[in-house]
Amino acid sequence: MHNPMELVGRRILVTGGSSGIGRETSILLSRLGAELVIVGRNPERLEATRSRLEGGPHHVEEIDLSDTIKIPDWLKSVSKEVGTFHGLVHSAGTQLTKPLRVTSHDEIEDMMRINIVAALSLVKGFRQKGVVDSQGGSVVFLSSVMGLVGQAGQATYSATKGALVSLTKTLAMELAREKIRVNSVAPAMVRTEMMDTMFQSLLPEQVAAIVSMHPLGIGTPEDVANAIAFLLADTGRWITGTTLVIDGGYTAH
């Protein structure tokens, strides 16, 4: 019996694969049979993720995605080494909780570069002939509920995540003729290293207030990984231009 979630024979690149949602997504995709290329800046953490993957062969690629101009050529060289890709998950990103009045110009530009410009460069590279599989592919961006609702102290982060929602729709239209689907997921608070770092910068009452806004509680990286796998697999073959909200009820208020 065919399992529409099965990913056997598919090669998927996951950025941010050394931690958090990217790591758990890589692990889940490997369990579903995919061949992974996991991307990050820390070789030790990348190897730690690879050691937890099932099946194979799997590959690691150390790259700083902030050097965005090099991404398309880099993807071309990776595909020549490992083969064409069926999927791309852009999970790498940065987060900043800070009032705009004290946010520096460099902080704004750094976040835009990783969260938005890198996303554009990755898709620009992914859609190249010889990089994406001849039968097409699937792209999933990691957006956030902060791209859908407003919250003080999140101006720069929200701007980048909201841009990914718009980018999802536009690229879905542009790349449909190339049989490339483009979707995004928008999680609320998830128990990752990034969440822990953010919570450390807040007062206890602020943390409690954030937690209380999630009727089903704080999520896990696995909750988001499940949705990403759904969009990559045949279960999502008629879905494009969509942002799937995974938020424990956060936006239902």
Pairing of strands 137-142, 180-187: parallel
Which one is catalytic: 74, 85, 141, 157?
Answer: 157
Q: In a 3-state reduction of DSSP, which class is residue 242? A: coil
CA distance 233 to 221: 18
Q: Where are the beta strands (DSSP E) in the chain?
A: 11-15, 35-40, 59-62, 87-90, 137-142, 180-187, 243-246
Annotation marks residue 250 as catalytic: no
The b-or-e profile of 71-105 (16+ CB within 10 A means b, else e) is bbebbeebbeebebbbbbbbbbbbbbbeeeeebee
* Type of residue at 174: E
**Catalytic positions, please?**
157
